[in-house]
């Protein structure tokens, strides 16, 4: 392409026309990106971050339905388990009294038994006046910490524990280290020093655009918010590298402006095709029933698209503007040739594929036995934050707490009481809290039905006044039959009557003596809290403490038993909610998601590959290698006997298939081109040499990002994704660079036989000496020749002859007379 063609000497195709427009209007694009940059700086703070993974459960699961009902019907006050170490029992009692007197603290549970005091450590179970995220509770927690500031303190609980805040800080460190690693990798693989700032500016803009446009989703998960930038960098920076390398190649023969246009016009199809496999893998995640897949999939797909936009519309202008500096900062290539590795791959082509086949079978078997978990209590991380350290200390000293709630249809206190007493007798249940076992006065519980006489005796109220109150209650509740049949036999639950009496006192209809007034007012506060926590308009709540871990086969079996028991008393339907039920629901949805995501990812990627290579067999060979890397990757947790968070498999298998397949595509592209020009073995060696810089650059960055996330994040879900991504990328690189070339070599006949429009490889002819050539040849003749040629060649020919013939040339006749003297003069 030359300037005349750009200016209209030759007709441009649409992509060339678009590329020229982008380069020529680069200043307009600069202004546009400056405006977007300013906007995104402000809009990045608009997005809401969701810390609660249970909110992404499928709507039809019992846990999600129960949480929705529970949030609407009852109030869950914020609470903390606070351990003060190295204190005496007397000091602990004094501290409990001091804590209970703090503003915002509703109650402090501490009884001096082994449940709250052990080995010099005191455990205070504190309940606050507000919910977990209410400023009242957060301020009260700060007062608690100040009161216990002189002791070794460990605080656990949802109040004041922000997963997103600590994760953001960790990801900033990950990003800082990742940038350093990327700089080192780019210095190693770049052609000029000045292209590195261009790459960083392009990616920096893409990352800012993605973060600044997340507000369009309204709310994203803390997982997406924290890892999106790092994964965007790892997944998309090779798009910028491809364009940069294209520019360097074109610049050798073209002016800067023409080189950028030519590079962009050639890079747009190449980069777009490469991105399709990554988008396919991420798109498959969006079909997960567990909503976190859709959340992360949408955010990362948007990240890839915005990265493409930045590479196609911002980077060309930067290359043009910095072309002078780029020209002056060239350096020698630091990337070595790996011909020796290629020749080793060729020599071992009959040895390694059978071993890979065994690994493939083993990987399939072991990965299907992977010990998946659905909660985070059994997971460990290399980095631990203060909350995790405190949780381990409290649980290690006093044991973990596994709490679940049972939401029952409201209305029948007696039925609720019978169920509650049944549950109390179950060995798996440590304690049950409900209206039917909360004591009010003199041995009565809140749901006991009292007649007017019993109520009068309990409150020292005149019997006639009690009858009047009961009559007024019956009228208020529109139960007129009791007035006719006799009010003395009318029983009213104690909680309902006390709340009615308090309401009548407030309105001035009832006057009690001073002592009784104080009693009723004190009871009203307790009863009001009990009703807020345990009784709603349509449901009442039982709170169970289980003597079982959050997640185990025994726990899941007990939940089935519990459902059966509850249904005996409430066949019309009750809901069981808790971390254990959430884990059970996730395990059920995972089985469906796992199969669905696996199939969709493979189907999407195969379709892209068939479109790319116009072959049915080649995509299968590529998928075989990458799917093998996925299976081998997820065999490690089974072999190492380490639990794996289920989300890690769903996310990483999609990313690994969608992104790492690009490495296989790079080698396959080189091979399918070179196999037309040289012997298959040489084509394999040369393919590895040409693909190595791209694969080592992109692969190192993605693997580094994964490893950094895995080792520096304290969140078990995020750390698990990072470890699996880093390990999976390294496995993919090894298989692509080692096994794939051998499979291509052995399966070459499959590539030929299954080609749709791919031109079959012509047989190569090898000749040495003086040759007479007449026709079209393609290959190497002491260097490559591709064109219509008629003449004589002296040297070595190794090429495919598409038309014409190659035959030994007849030797020229000996020189005589004047011709011989002339040749001798020339030789001198």
- Structure-block tokens of residue 351: 């040895």
- The mean predicted confidence, pLDDT, of the chain is 82
User: Using an 8 Å Cβ cutoff, are 790 and 806 in contact?
Assistant: no
| H or E segment and range at residue 404 | strand 402-409
Q: Is the pLDDT of residue 38 over 90?
A: yes
Q: Report the C-alpha gap between 675 and 748 in whole angstroms.
A: 9
User: What are the DSSP calls for 732-757, one per residue?
Assistant: HHHHHHHHHHHHHHHTHHHHHHTBSS
User: Using an 8 Å Cβ cutoff, are 248 and 330 in contact?
Assistant: no
- Region of poorest pLDDT, from 359-368, 483-492, 687-696: 483-492
- Predicted pLDDT of residue 632: 94
Q: Is the pLDDT of residue 69 over 70?
A: yes
Q: Report the C-alpha gap between 294 and 220 in whole angstroms.
A: 10
Q: Report the C-alpha gap between 333 and 335 in whole angstroms.
A: 6
Q: What's the pTM?
A: 0.76
- Predicted pLDDT of residue 626: 85
Q: Report the C-alpha gap between 13 and 229 in whole angstroms.
A: 35
Torsion of CA 721, 724, 730, 733, to 10 degrees: -80
- Predicted pLDDT of residue 95: 92
User: What are the DSSP calls for 611-647, one per residue?
Assistant: HHHSBSHHHHHHHHHHHHHHHHHTTHHHHHT--EEHH
Residues 418-471: tens digit of each pLDDT: 999 999 999 999 999 988 888 877 778 888 888 888 888 887 778 888 888 888
- Structure-block tokens of residue 786: 């591709």
H-state helical runs in 435-578: 452-459, 463-476, 481-485, 494-507, 514-534, 553-569
The torsion region of residue 783 among left (phi > 0), alpha (psi -120 to 50) and beta comes to left
- Local structure of 539: helix, strand or coil: strand
Q: Could you identify the residue written with the tokens 């503007």?
A: 321
**Crossing angle of the two packed helices 680-712 and 716-746, in degrees rounded to 10:** 170
Q: Distance from first CA to last CA of the chain, Å, rounded?
A: 44
Residues 6 or more apart in contact with residue 824 via CB below 8 angstroms: none
Residues 273-327: tens digit of each pLDDT: 778 878 888 888 888 888 888 898 899 999 999 999 999 999 999 999 998 888 8
Residues 90-129: tens digit of each pLDDT: 999 999 999 999 999 988 999 878 889 998 899 999 999 8
- Predicted pLDDT of residue 822: 47
Q: How many CB atoms lie within 10 A of CB 161?
A: 20
Q: Is the pLDDT of residue 595 over 90?
A: no
Q: Report the C-alpha gap between 161 and 323 in whole angstroms.
A: 50
The residue length of the chain stands at 828
Q: Report the C-alpha gap between 325 and 344 in whole angstroms.
A: 40
Torsion of CA 50, 298, 70, 131, to 10 degrees: 10
Q: Is the pLDDT of residue 159 over 90?
A: no
Q: How many helices (H) and strands (E) does the chain have?
A: 31, 19
Q: Is the pLDDT of residue 365 over 90?
A: yes
Q: Is the pLDDT of residue 627 over 50?
A: yes
- Predicted pLDDT of residue 802: 52
- Structure-block tokens of residue 58: 């499928």
Residues 748-766: tens digit of each pLDDT: 777 777 766 544 455 555 6
Residues 525-553: tens digit of each pLDDT: 777 788 888 888 889 999 999 999 999 99
- Higher-pLDDT residue of 439 and 32 is 32
């Amino acid at each position: 392409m030359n300037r005349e063609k750009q200016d209209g000497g030759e007709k441009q195709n649409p992509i060339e026309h678009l590329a020229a427009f982008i380069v020529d209007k680069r200043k307009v694009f600069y202004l546009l990106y400056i405006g977007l940059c300013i906007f995104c700086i402000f809009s990045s703070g608009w997005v809401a971050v969701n810390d609660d993974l249970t909110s992404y459960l499928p709507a039809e699961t019992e846990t999600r339905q129960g949480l929705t009902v529970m949030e609407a019907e009852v109030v869950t006050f914020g609470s903390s388990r606070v351990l003060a170490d190295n204190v005496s029992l007397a000091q602990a009692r004094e501290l409990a009294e001091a804590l209970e007197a703090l503003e915002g603290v509703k109650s402090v549970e501490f009884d001096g038994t082994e449940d709250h005091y052990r080995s010099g450590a005191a455990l205070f179970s504190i309940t606050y006046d507000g919910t977990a995220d209410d400023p009242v509770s957060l301020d009260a927690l700060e007062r608690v910490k100040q009161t216990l500031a002189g002791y070794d303190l460990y605080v656990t609980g949802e109040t004041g524990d922000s997963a997103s805040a600590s994760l953001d800080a960790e990801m900033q460190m990950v990003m800082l280290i990742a940038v350093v690693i990327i700089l080192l990798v780019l210095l190693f693989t770049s052609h000029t020093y000045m292209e590195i700032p261009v790459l960083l500016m392009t990616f920096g803009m893409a990352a800012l655009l993605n973060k600044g446009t997340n507000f369009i989703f309204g709310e994203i998960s803390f997982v997406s918010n924290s890892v999106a930038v790092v994964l965007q960098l790892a997944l998309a920076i090779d798009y910028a590298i491809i364009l940069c390398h294209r520019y360097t190649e074109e610049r050798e023969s073209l002016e800067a402006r023409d080189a950028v246009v030519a590079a962009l016009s050639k890079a747009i199809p190449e980069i777009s095709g490469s991105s399709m496999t990554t988008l396919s893998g991420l798109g498959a995640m969006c079909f997960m029933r567990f909503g976190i897949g859709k959340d992360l999939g949408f955010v990362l797909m948007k990240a890839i698209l915005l990265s493409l936009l930045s590479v196609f519309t911002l980077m060309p202008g930067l290359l043009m503007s910095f072309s002078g500096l780029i020209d002056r900062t060239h350096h020698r290539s630091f990337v070595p040739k790996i011909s020796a590795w290629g020749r080793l791959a060729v020599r071992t082509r009959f040895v390694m594929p059978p071993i890979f086949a065994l690994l493939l079978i083993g990987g399939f078997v072991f990965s299907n036995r992977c010990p998946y978990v659905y909660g985070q209590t059994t997971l460990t991380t290399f980095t631990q934050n203060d909350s995790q350290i405190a949780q381990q200390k409290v649980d290690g000293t006093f044991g973990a707490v596994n709490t679940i709630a049972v939401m029952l249809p409201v209305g029948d206190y007696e039925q609720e009481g019978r169920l509650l007493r049944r549950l109390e007798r179950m060995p798996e249940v440590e304690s049950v809290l409900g209206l039917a076992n909360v004591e009010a006065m003199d041995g009565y519980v809140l749901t006991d039905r009292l007649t007017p006489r019993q109520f009068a005796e309990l409150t020292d109220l005149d019997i006639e006044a009690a009858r009047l109150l009961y009559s007024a209650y019956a009228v208020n509740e529109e139960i007129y039959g009791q007035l006719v049949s006799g009010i003395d036999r009318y029983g009213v639950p104690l909680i309902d009557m006390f709340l009615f009496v308090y309401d009548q006192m407030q309105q001035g209809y009832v006057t009690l003596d001073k002592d009784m007034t104080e009693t009723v007012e004190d009871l009203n506060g307790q009863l009001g809290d009990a009703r807020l926590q345990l009784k709603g308009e349509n449901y009442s709540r039982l709170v169970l403490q289980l003597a079982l871990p959050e997640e185990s086969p025994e726990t899941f079996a007990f939940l089935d038993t519990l459902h059966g028991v509850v249904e005996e008393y409430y066949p019309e339907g009750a809901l069981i909610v808790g971390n254990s039920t959430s884990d059970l629901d996730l395990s059920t949805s995972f089985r469906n998601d796992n199969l669905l995501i696996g199939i969709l990812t493979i189907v999407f990627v195969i379709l892209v590959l068939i479109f790319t290579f116009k072959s049915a067999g080649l995509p299968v060979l590529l998928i075989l290698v990458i799917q093998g890397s996925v299976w081998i990757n997820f065999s490690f947790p089974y072999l190492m006997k380490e639990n794996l968070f289920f989300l890690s498999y769903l996310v990483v298998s999609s990313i690994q298939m969608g992104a790492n397949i690009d490495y296989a595509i790079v080698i396959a592209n080189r091979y399918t081109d070179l196999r037309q020009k040289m012997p298959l073995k040489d084509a394999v060696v040369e393919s590895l040499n040409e693909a190595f810089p791209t694969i080592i650059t992109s692969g190192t960055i993605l693997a580094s990002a994964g490893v950094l996330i895995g080792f520096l994040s304290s969140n078990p879900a995020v750390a698990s994704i990072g470890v699996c991504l880093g390990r999976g990328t390294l496995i993919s690189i090894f298989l692509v660079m080692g096994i794939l070339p051998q499979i291509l070599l052995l399966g070459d006949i499959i590539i030929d036989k299954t080609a749709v429009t791919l031109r079959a490889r012509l047989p190569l002819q090898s000749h040495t000496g003086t040759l007479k050539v007449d026709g079209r040849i393609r290959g190497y003749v002491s260097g490559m020749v591709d064109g219509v040629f008629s003449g004589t060649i002296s040297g070595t020919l190794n090429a495919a002859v598409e038309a014409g013939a190659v035959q030994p040339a007849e030797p020229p006749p000996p020189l005589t007379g004047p011709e011989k003297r002339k040749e001798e003069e020339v030789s001198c």
